[in-house]
Structure formats: C-alpha cells, structure tokens
Amino acid sequence: MSSRAHAARKWYPLDNAANVYPAVQSSKRPNVFRVSATLKEPVVPELLQTALDITLRRIPSFSVRLRSGLFWHYLSHSDDPLLIQEDVVNPCMRISHKRDKGFQIRVRYHDTRIALEVFHSVTDGGGAMTFLKTLVAQYLTQLGHDIPASHGVLDCSESPRPDEANDDFSAFAGDSSRAPREQGRAYHVSGTPLPRHDYEIITGTVPVDVIRAVARRYGASITEYLAGVFLHILAGIQQAEKRRRLRPVYVQVPVNLRRFHPSETLRNFSSYVCPGIDLTQGNRTFEETLASVHHFMRYEVTAQKLRSRVATNVHSESHPLLRPVPLFLKNQAIATVYNLSGPLAYSSVLTNLGVVRVPPAMHQHVEMFDFNLGPSHGTKINCTVLGYDGKLRVSFGRVIRETMVERAFFTFLVRHMIPVKVETNQEPAECPTA
C-alpha cells in the first residue's frame, strides 16, 4: 500500500488480539491502560493540543472510533479534533462512547504530567509508548526545543508508514501448529471491593542497577525476578488464608513480539506466557519458585513457542465456520471463551514495558515515565513495570481496599536490600489503617 493510500485509509480491521477487547469490555473490565510522562516544567495545554493534532496526523491509526460491522468490529478513522482533558485521580476508567466522542484514546494533562490512556483494541504498550514519546517530543518542539526523531520518537514531518498499521500476527504465526489452550483455574486474591469508580495505585521506585544485581545473584532477569517475587507472595497470601483447596498461582507476563519478528506496527503485537506454581505439590522456597520461573520463561519465551500460541488465535479468527457468524453471536462466544481461559486462568498480570529510551535532548526535560493497567475485577490487582533514567517504577493497581499484596511485595524487596520509595494516588486520609 502506498503512503498516499495509507493516508487516505478510512478504516482498519481490528488486529487479531484486539478482537477480544470490545466483546469483553465493561466498567469492571475496561481494557484501558495508560502511559504517562512527567516533565520538569508545568504543561502548557494550548501547546499540548497543537502537539497532539500534529502527532495524530503522523500516527492516524490512533485517531479512530470503534464501530460494529455485521461480522466484526472495526476502527474507522476520524478527522474530528481529539481534545486534551484534565487528568483525574482515578485513571483508566472505561472509554465512554458519549463522553469520549467515540475516540478510543484520551490524552490528559495535570501540572507537569502528560498521560495517554488507550483502549487495548487500538494498540499495546509498545505502540502506546511510541505515541507518547512522539507526542512529548512534539510538545517540547512546540516549546522551542530541538528534539531529533530517534530512540523511538517518530518524525512528524514524514507521512505515516503503511507498515505501522499492519496486523502482524498472521505473518508472525506463519504455518505453525497450534498450541492447546489448557490451564486450570488459578487463585485470585480476595478483599473488600472499593466503591465504584475507585482505583488505587501504589508505585514503588527502585534503582535499576540494585535490582538487576540482586536478580543476577539468583541467575535471573529483572522480569523473572519480579515474577518470582510476585508468585511467592501470592502463594504466601493463599496459604495464610487457610483454604481447604489450594489453587495454582499463575502470573500472566505479556511478551512483546517485536523482539522476535521485525515489525514496525504500532498496533497490538504482543503475546503472553503464564509462569506459575502449583501449591498442591507442597511449599516452595523463594529460590525454588524463582528457579522454576526462570526455566519456564527460557523454555516458553522463544519464537517457536510464541508462534504456536499466536497461531491458535489466528486460526480461531480465520476459521471458515466462524467468520460468517454475526457479530452479536461472535461477541457472546468470544466473551465465553475469554471468561473461561482469561482472568480465571491467571492470578494477576505482571507486565514489564522495559527501559524507556528517549533522545538525549528530550531526556533533560522528562523527569519520569509511568505505566498503569486499568482496573480488573477479575484479578483484583495487577502489576506494571517500567524503567527510565536508572529507576524502575513498579506500580500496583487494585480494586480492593486491602494493600497486603503491595506491602508483602515491597517489604520482600526491602528484605533483599533493595531500597524502595513508595507513593500512591490516594489522598493521605484514605490510606489504610494499620
């Protein structure tokens, strides 16, 4: 497709992963995530709006509305202006068709922060971070700074590239055999539900070099180490509940497929693996849990294994008997399969966006980046990880009042001599009582 044809593109079919989200979207599961950048100076809204308009012209696949077709949902391009909004204390709430004018992204600002909230059908964390970096670079350009288009910042003077809107799942899956979808029901933390529209986030900041050194001491990567800690404390919480029947503990870890397949796409292109431990096999020490996670990740996070997993979903989408089924029936089927094999099958999510790199000229204006998942009443609590400027930001978002998971997690890191600085989106008066 030529760039002119791409520029004139009026609609996009949802990519393979994105088909699930409209079918299972609700206020309890909004499937919205957020990436944000905190600058060193307060944001000027007028310049941010200008920067957003320019960025959307460069990345038109974000200026879209979700539509329902006869057989599938699709994204239709919109030339209407997307207006920036003031930030809120409870991020990642459901995209409202009326209030958000059909757009599937929101750009918010508050004091020094610029935040992008995205419905997962539009893109994944990697695509959203590219958009945010380009938006921030464009905003700084509006302020008069010279920011080069490098380190993942797109050049807004260029036309959109056709490959940026590709659905690369089919190309990645190739003719791989399909992996079976089988996983039992996992343990879920329980607690007192927060009032509707409440979403509490606790973020811990740790030095990257310290946590990397500790992880290496155990022969693991940072993601493996964090997943090991998460599984260990979830297992401990389950055992403390003294349940009659212990369930396995699984943590879903998304994997960016751009590492395994050359891709320029700014749409969804990630899969996941679910390391876990089965408590019916007896107690495990942290070292045993981490070793298990390490070997599982090395075995599962390979191009072949991921291809096979992606091929299962691609095959389901392209099945000749499923394709002509009307959308409302398809939605029911997708929701049923998702409810059986989705959040029920894992205890929580731990997603690591990796280290964010920006051009040096931009680095001096950006204090930090953040990454948050939206609320999920299925798992109750989710964890996100992002590195920038030598600091690792580990955020927990939860829809229950109790903070036992975060407390156990961060105090575990402290016991491993990793300094943790904790902050929250709650008002001081709302903090839990001892």
Partner 1 sequence: MPYCVRCGVELADGAASCPLCGVEVVLPKTLRKPASGSPRPQLRDVVATEFDRKLWIQVVSALMAIPALGCVVIDAVSGDGLTWSLYVVASLTAVWICSVSPFLYRRNVVPLWITIDAAALLGLLYVINALPPASDWFQPLALPIVLTLFLLVLLVLGFARRGILRELHKATAASIALAAFCIAIESAVDLYLTDAVRLDWSLIVLVLCVPLAVIAEILQRRRGIVEGMKAWLRM
Residue 40 interacts with partner 1 (CB under 8 A): yes or no:
no
Cross-strand pairs, 65: 76, 103
Name the one range near partner 1 by CB under 8 A: 250-258, 264-272, 348-356, 414-422: 414-422
Tokens of 175: 């003719």
Residue 39 or 279: the one with the smaller Cβ distance to partner 1 is 39
Name the one range near partner 1 by CB under 8 A: 153-161, 165-173, 183-191, 401-409: 401-409
Residue 8 or 414: the one with the smaller Cβ distance to partner 1 is 414
Residue 57 three-state SS: helix
Scan residues 131-170 and list those touching partner 1 (CB under 8 A).
none
- Kind of pairing between the strands at 276-277 and 366-373: unpaired
Residue 206 or 349: the one with the smaller Cβ distance to partner 1 is 206
Residue 105 in contact with residue 127, Cβ under 8 Å?
Answer: no
E strand or H helix at 186, and its extent? Answer: none
Residue 50 interacts with partner 1 (CB under 8 A): yes or no:
no
Spatial distance between the Cα atoms of 44 and 104, rounded to a whole number of angstroms: 23
The CB-of-373 to partner 1 minimum distance in angstroms stands at 15
Residue 57 or 416: the one with the smaller Cβ distance to partner 1 is 416
The CB-of-331 to partner 1 minimum distance in angstroms stands at 7
Residue 250 in contact with residue 186, Cβ under 8 Å?
Answer: yes
Scan residues 319-358 and list those touching partner 1 (CB under 8 A).
328, 331-332
Cα angle: 365, vertex 142, 138; to 5 degrees: 70
Task: Give the one residue of 88, 149, 171, 246 binding partner 1; rule: CB under 8 A.
Answer: 88
Residue 370 interacts with partner 1 (CB under 8 A): yes or no:
no
User: Residue 140's closest CA among 152, 129, 153, 159?
Assistant: 153
Block residue for tokens 């696949």:
61
Residue 70 interacts with partner 1 (CB under 8 A): yes or no:
no
Residue 45 in contact with residue 84, Cβ under 8 Å?
Answer: yes
Dihedral sign, Cα of residue 135, residue 138, residue 143, residue 148: positive
The CB-of-95 to partner 1 minimum distance in angstroms stands at 8
Residue 96 in contact with residue 88, Cβ under 8 Å?
Answer: no
Task: Give the one residue of 4, 10, 28, 97 binding partner 1; rule: CB under 8 A.
Answer: 97
Q: What is the total count of residues that contact partner 1 (CB under 8 A)?
A: 46
The CB-of-405 to partner 1 minimum distance in angstroms stands at 10
Task: Give the one residue of 110, 212, 357, 401 binding partner 1; rule: CB under 8 A.
Answer: 110
Dihedral sign, Cα of residue 388, residue 425, residue 396, residue 405: positive
Task: Give the one residue of 3, 27, 177, 239 binding partner 1; rule: CB under 8 A.
Answer: 27
Spatial distance between the Cα atoms of 247 and 381, rounded to a whole number of angstroms: 17
Residue 36 or 271: the one with the smaller Cβ distance to partner 1 is 36
Scan residues 201-260 and list those touching partner 1 (CB under 8 A).
202, 204
Name the one range near partner 1 by CB under 8 A: 80-88, 254-262, 267-275, 297-305: 80-88
Spatial distance between the Cα atoms of 319 and 322, rounded to a whole number of angstroms: 5
Residue 78 or 425: the one with the smaller Cβ distance to partner 1 is 425
Residue 195 interacts with partner 1 (CB under 8 A): yes or no:
no
Residue 24 or 274: the one with the smaller Cβ distance to partner 1 is 24
Question: Which of 283-308 are b and which e, b meaning 16 or more Cβ less than 10 Å from the residue's Cβ?
Answer: ebebeebbbbbbebbeebbeeebbbb
- For 124, 235, 252, 285, the CA distances from 276, given in Å and listed in that order, are 24, 10, 9, 14
Spatial distance between the Cα atoms of 392 and 19, rounded to a whole number of angstroms: 32
State the helix-helix crossing angle for 303-318 and 286-300, rounded to 10 degrees: 60
The CB-of-411 to partner 1 minimum distance in angstroms stands at 5
- Residues at the contact surface with partner 1, assessed by CB under 8 A: 27, 38, 86-91, 93-94, 96-99, 110-113, 197, 202, 204, 328, 331-332, 403, 406-407, 410-411, 414-415, 419-429, 431-434
